[in-house]
Structure 1
Amino acid sequence: MDLAATLYIFLALIGSFSYFLYFPSNSCPLFDYYFFISSSV
């Protein structure tokens, strides 16, 4: 993978982790964040 893709995935992991911290009641924040990124691309 190139640097841009690696950085993008890294930011996505950080975003999903912080999303989980702020919204712990959500059952699966990882997939929610993944779909959010997929729809915004």
Structure 2
Amino acid sequence: MEEKKYFVHESAYVDEGAVVGAGTKIWHFCHVMKGARIGQN
């Protein structure tokens, strides 16, 4: 199992197909949708 290089709070959703950069923190009640790019360039 690959370790994530970012943090996602248990109440947040990250859809499959979203790209999250290393060191990013996604907090309470967030929804990162398919196709979104957030975090490290």
Q: TM-score, normalised by structure 2?
A: 0.22
Max radius of gyration: which structure? 1
Of Structure 1 and Structure 2, the greater strand share is in 2
1 or 2 for the larger relative contact order (CA 8 Å, sep ≥6)? Answer: 2
Of Structure 1 and Structure 2, the greater helix share is in 1
Q: TM-score, normalised by structure 1?
A: 0.22
